[in-house]
Structure 1
Amino acid sequence: MIEEQLRSWLFRFEPERAHALAMSALEALGKMPRTRIRLWPSNEAIDPMLRQTLWGLDFSHPLGLAAGFDKDARALPALAAMGFAFVEIGTITPQPQAGNPAPRLFRYPQQGAIINRLGFPSEGMLRVGERLASQGHPAITVGINLGKNKDTPLERAVEDYEQLLRHLHPFADYWVVNVSSPNTPGLRQLQSLNALRPLLSRLREIRRELAGTEAPRPLLLKIAPDLTDEEIQEIGSLAQDAQPLLEGFIATNTTISRPEGWPYAAEAGGLSGLPLRRQALAVLRQLRRSTGGQVPIIGVGGIASAEDAYERILAGASLLQSYTGWLYRGSSLVQELTRNLPEYLRRDGFSCLAEAVGQGS
């Protein structure tokens, strides 16, 4: 009830102001260990059926927080205590940048949606690295989402991703290359194979160098929901080469398309939430086919219930992320998923979540 009251209060403010207030509150909670442990009910035991090990990383259940909420790792200690199995921070850019002009964030509660055109506002890798070093690594898996600065030419984008990888290497359990945001001019051009292959090849070299005698930390690619089937097929091949350039994918980012009859079609930016659900699901299925089910995929986009989550698992997602759905529902979404997914799995004759992945695709 307290969480619902807080959300109701925050929703009285314009979206970006509400987000800033929420971040300040979570940042403060992260510095209060005794209070922080109460963010997730201690009696909420996670059914072992939901446990998985992927890329050598352990996940107590499939749901994580998507990138975009905690762009600068300000609230990581508090978010790690809120029931997620993993948290992805970012998108982080090498140099600080303000992002696009306001207004740039719009809520549509009746549609369960958000439109954003933030444009990677970031404190930059130096400040984020300092913060991560001072916080210490939380008890859950942490992903770092990487993006290029707006003023970096596309032909030099690899330099931005290389800087980020080198500087933030001590803090990431997995990496995400973000070349699919619609809010940085030209960024999505980096999804073409001619641009992706040299970028990912260079990052593979750097990861091996940084890993030394250990296994390199997994690299995932976050793709747009607006790709054609042919483009998805081509991108899927990057994980099936003799020397794969990727260990997984995130499907999907926000969309520049709008549902038929969408009442706010004039508002530019990436659309997320329930209107994206069918589109993100279709891309996931196509990507699963394109990779032959050989690499893990994180499904994201319009997941707002346990039913949505199970549908995405059956379609081929090993893990899931939420942002917009969690924004509107809060911890009740995490609780619903961890309670109900084991029931769905047992009902359909699966002994664990991993058995169900892709069985409905």
Structure 2
Amino acid sequence: MKNSFVLRNVKRVNGEEIDIVIESGKIAEIAIAGEGHGEQVWDGAGTYVSSGWIDMHVHAFPEFSPYGDEIDEIGVKQGVTTIVDAGSCGADRIPDLVADSKQAKTNLFAFLNISRIGLKRIDELSNMEWINREKVKLAVKAYGDVIVGLKARISSSVVGDSGIEPLRIARELSDETALPVMVHIGSAPPNIEEVIPLLERKDIITHYLNGKRNNLFDMEGKPLQVLIDAINRGVHLDVGHGTASFSFKVAEAAKQQGIGFHTISTDIYRGNRLNGPVYSLANVLTKFLYLGYSLEEIIAAVTTHAAAWLGKPELGRIQVGDQANLTLFTLRNEQTVLIDSEGEQRVSDQVIETRGVVIGGEYIEC
């Protein structure tokens, strides 16, 4: 479906029914439902429309195993128009990731791994010689239109004997490049109370709802003081579900304590896409619907909130004159079993399912 077409009888998340007329890839008109006209008509009765979903934490470099996948497999084919690769590549391979993105339909941004080898190995910060400050700065200069931040995975299996030092270097590189840091948190050492105080405004804690012993909540489910202090400093909380980093019990406690997300992301790659527990961004969003968050809150986390963090507000809106960047999805009343990273199950009465995206002047069915 190209050129001029209309999405008829679609509804915004607030329930308002509209037609969206798209011409030459741009939104030409937002009309009252049933009154939009185009060369082709897509009947969206019962379908929600939002600005295109943004997944803030994916792994989209297929050459690296186990953490890799094809860009469009975790992008437009899943109803996601923009993905942010979370440090798959360091300075050695970021040119290849950028080249791959030019062949894909999905928009791609990236966090640059501070280790030049990236996820070629899964202990990429265990050897301090793999952190080359000059190569980081050169990569940021060369690919500044794609690189949106720096990535440091700060957990014991990644840093080994390097301890907290890689994060200290990431902090210095952040100051030198004016880029924020996304920090993966996981098993100690380093202890979480060493890690979080080093984060500043706009830095991201990803995996903030993980169920590991070194997490951000105490045994009673109350947030640690370092988390409260970080939120007050303007540190951003990202879900980053992943294979081992999302716990229903922790998420339930966080909601009870009023510790909400800024963005919901998947940490998706081939293995957890095909075999779970992630499967898709829609599946992860369904988990938050089960937890009692409103549809408006959930969709904002993957549209306006993510777009604002990226400094790309146009990606989070539906406005006449903008490039058409849309996700179409339904909310189906059907019981489904949801599984977290701990193997815990919950049963949801509603399921979010994607139907398609509009990007590059084209409607792509999921």
TM-score, length of structure 2 as denominator length: 0.46
Tell me which of the two structures has the higher relative contact order, counting C-alpha pairs closer than 8 angstroms and 6 or more residues apart.
2
Report the structure, 1 or 2, having the larger strand content. 2
Report the structure, 1 or 2, having the larger helix content. 1
TM-score, length of structure 1 as denominator length: 0.47
